[in-house]
Amino acid sequence: MSFHVIRRSDTQPQPWKNGMGTTREIARFPTDAGNDDFLWRVSVAEVNSAAPFSTFPGIDRQIVLLEGDGFTMTLDGAREHALVVPFEPFAFSGEARVEVTMAGGATQDFNLMIRRAWGRGEVRALTQAGSHEPDPSCVLLYVARGTVTTIDGDLQAGDAWLPDRSPFELAEGSIVLLALAQPN
């Protein structure tokens, strides 16, 4: 097994920073960093109630609906965003106080966090089947749906890959999320 492949079964649920939900951390950099000193972090959260999000001062966040009906986010008591369309990233500040109103049942959400003083990042959804070269700033590829073939083996939904510069093959009907991070 390659150290570049992270299987969903290898990630364990852990409580949110505020203890009001659960997340499965996929990767962070540096790998030995804590919640207060990572440069970037990728996770998949379960949102199953109207619990507030944890705050992360100094962090820029992107969230992407993976499964479920989604929810409406109220940021700092004023601005609202309906996170109801799967695979469309939404960026917000880690300092924001975020309350949610569920649109239906539980959801799964992909999250990228970047330490603002270090750099910038974004999440891109890729749906075009065929061979692709990773963007040089891609730190993680997450299989949201379908199958991806890499030099390190086949990946299924819920698996992730820490890419080197080798190409990957996206199967027809598959969707991957590319987490991009680069220093300022």
What domains are defined for the chain?
12-117 (2.60.120.10), 121-183 (no CATH)
143 SS3 class: strand
Helix (H, G, I), strand (E, B) or coil at 8: helix
What 3-state class would DSSP assign to 184?
coil
What pLDDT, on the 0 to 100 scale, is given for residue 109? 97
What's this model's pTM, rounded to 2 decimal places? 0.94
* Dist. CA 24–CA 184, nearest whole Å: 27
Locate tokens 């990572």: which residue? Answer: 38
User: What DSSP designation does 17 have?
Assistant: T
C-alpha count within 13 angstroms, C-beta hemisphere, residue 147:
5
Q: Give the model confidence (pLDDT) of 126-184 as tens digits.
A: 999 999 999 999 999 999 999 999 999 999 999 999 998 899 999 999 999 999 999 99
- Per-residue pLDDT reduced to its tens digit, 72-84: 999 999 999 999 9
pLDDT at 1: 38
Supply the DSSP symbol for 157: T
- Cα gap 82→63, rounded to integer Å: 12
pLDDT of residue 82: 98
Least confident stretch, 2-11, 59-68, 130-139, 162-171:
2-11
Residue 161: Cβ within 10 Å count: 23
